[in-house]
Amino acid sequence: MGAGMAKYARDEDFKLNGVRTVKDYDLYCHYVAGLVGEGLTKLITAAKFGSPTLLDRMNLSESMGLFLQKTNIIRDYKEDLDDGRTFWPKEVWGKYAKNLSDFEKPEFIQKGVYCISELVLNALGEAKDSLTYLSLIYDHSTFNFTAIPQVMAIATLAEIFENPLVLKQNVKIRRGTTAKLILESRTYSGVLDIFSHYLRIIHHKCPVADPNYLEISLKCGEIEQYLEELNPDSSHLPKGAKPMQTQSYLDAQKKLETDVPLQKVIEKETSACNAAVTFVGITFVSLLYFAYYFYVQSV
């Protein structure tokens, strides 16, 4: 990782022109985030917190890192541009403008939005591997550690997709959404539901006029189909039919089985929280009522 960063630090062409090709884009993300995933995977497997097969499938950890890094790069367009940095690959943005900074101009806003959609499409290419990786994590704390950034990434992609504000400011998901994602991603089934939810948002937001409309629709459909493969809805299967016994399905089902005890704990926590909120609400309304009553009596 250090050698990779040193390479970019010495690269005058990179300093002046940024990332040129999608291949260079992937390589940069590999050095920045992919290698981090590789190192963490070695620690996770050494501690027996995940499947030892992860060591033979480093492409999964690579995708985990690239999914996060690509999301951050797309989101940070304005911030990076203001600081004199350019990480969007010219191979992509060059289709829509002569200069990367052109997207700040009103007449290039729509082109910039189309460029964002192509970059989001590229990032979504890492989603399936990320979901597979998470199914192979056994330890619950480690699962939380790896799952939370992934659900933040898919939520962020949905937020910045078809969003011209990305070209003017740093766009982030709301804090309330962040808290909700953290709570709902404690189980693998929760992660799958979150991905499904935001994929549908992306698909729904994509206008037919977008030059990437067809590819984005196909990619969203592909990932949705994979989600269905991992955790199939029995109502979608013909009577008497069984899900395809793929390795991905078997790994996901094994992971989902470990969710059952935790799901019961989550349900108890939710019930207790709802009861507490209800009690506080009733108490507050009662206090308001009595305050109003005594005020009227005093008048």
Give the list of residues 6+ apart from residue 67 with CB closer than 8 angstroms, or none.
123, 126, 127, 130, 150, 153
Q: Would the CA dihedral through 172, 177, 181, 183 be positive or negative?
A: positive
Instruction: Copy the structure tokens of residue 255.
Output: 């992971």
Which member of 8, 138, 145, 226 is catalytic?
145
CA distance 196 to 236: 16
Residue 28 appears among annotated catalytic residues: yes
Q: Considering the candidates 28, 143, 161, 188, report the single residue annotated as catalytic.
A: 28
Known catalytic residue at 186: no
CA 25 from centroid of its chain's CA atoms: 19
| Cβ atoms 248, 135 nearer than 8 A | yes
| DSSP-derived secondary structure for 187-220 | SHHHHHHHHHHHHHHHHHH--TTSTTHHHHHHHH
Question: Are residues 149 and 193 in contact, defined by beta-carbon separation less than 8 angstroms?
Answer: no
Rounded to 10 degrees, the C-alpha dihedral 223/224/225/231 comes to 110
Catalytic site residue from 85, 284, 292, 293: 85
Q: Are 139 and 50 in contact (CB under 8 A)?
A: yes
Is the Cα torsion angle 32, 5, 117, 219 positive or negative in sign? negative
Which one is catalytic: 49, 67, 75, 143?
Answer: 75
75 among known catalytic residues = yes
Q: Among residues 40, 21, 201, 178, which one has the least CA distance to residue 124?
A: 201
| CB-CB contact of 130 with 150 (8 Å) | yes
Active centre residues (catalytic): 28, 75, 85, 145
